[in-house]
């Protein structure tokens, strides 16, 4: 992955240690990847004059990310999904974060000083997401946090003091050209907060 390279359907994008990546899609949607993360662009179809053909499917294979909905999701939120091995995240005009831990989040420090539990952690900065798997579904709204232990356990809300918020450093979170950007403008380093 490099600067200004096209991202095609089926591409698996990876970040290494201490590396972030911002992916800007054709419909102004954005994903920012944390270090040691992998996503797959399983589908990204956006045709300005054919909304019925829109389809966005991003797989979070490892690590963490923040995402902001693009025009495809604003036209029809049911056409945009983010999948993990634990659950699927459907958007509702959203800015959200996701962190997928499988014995690999020891470097993620929380307020408790312990790494997050294995599973999928979700935070919503604006809008809402619906997290679902075969065990159940849970809507997570602005300012709320969710957690899914694994594919056999239903997604659930967690209290703010137990929630994991994925943030990004200012240099990667600020969107200088258009849109709302990802993260907070005063952030100086990447952190996971509770």
CATH number reported for the structural domain that contains residue 112 in this entry: 2.60.120.1440
pLDDT given at position 93 = 73
Assigned domain for 130 exists: yes
State pTM to two decimals.
0.82
The answer to whether residue 55 sits within a structural domain is yes
Q: Is residue 61 part of a domain?
A: yes
Does residue 1 form part of some domain? no
What pLDDT shows up at residue 192?
A: 35
CA atoms of 59 and 117, how far apart (whole Å): 20
- Per-residue pLDDT, 184: 41
CB-based contacts of 124: which residues, under 8 Å, 6+ apart? Answer: 94, 95, 96, 140, 141, 142, 143, 144, 145
pLDDT tens, 66-122? 999 899 999 998 999 999 999 999 988 789 999 999 988 888 777 777 888 999 999
* Of the candidates 31, 7, 11, 9, the residue with the CA atom closest to the CA atom of residue 21: 31
Among 77-86, 96-105, 164-173, 181-190, the least confident range: 181-190
Whether 4 is in a domain gets the answer no
Does 50 have pLDDT greater than 90? yes
Q: The domain containing residue 178 runs over which residues?
A: 12-193
Cβ neighbours for 84, distance < 8 A, ≥ 6 positions apart: 59, 60, 61, 98, 100, 120
Number of domains in the chain: 1
């Amino acid at each position: 992955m490099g600067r200004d390279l096209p991202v095609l359907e089926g591409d698996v994008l990876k970040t290494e240690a201490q590396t972030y990546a911002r992916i800007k899609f054709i419909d102004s949607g954005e994903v920012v990847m944390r270090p040691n993360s992998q996503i797959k662009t399983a589908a990204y179809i956006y045709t300005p004059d054919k909304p019925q053909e829109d389809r966005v499917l991003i797989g979070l294979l490892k690590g963490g990310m923040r995402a902001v909905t693009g025009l495809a999701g604003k036209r029809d939120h049911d056409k945009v999904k983010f999948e993990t091995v634990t659950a699927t995240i459907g958007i509702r005009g959203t800015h959200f974060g996701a962190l997928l831990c499988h014995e690999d989040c020891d470097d993620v420090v929380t307020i408790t000083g312990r790494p997050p539990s294995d599973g999928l952690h979700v935070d919503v900065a604006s809008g809402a997401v619906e997290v679902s798997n075969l065990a159940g579904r849970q809507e997570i709204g602005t300012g709320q946090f969710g957690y899914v232990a694994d594919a056999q356990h239903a997604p659930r809300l967690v209290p703010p003091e137990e929630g994991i918020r994925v943030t990004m450093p200012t240099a990667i979170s600020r969107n200088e050209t258009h849109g709302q950007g990802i993260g907070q403008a005063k952030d100086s380093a990447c952190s996971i907060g509770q």
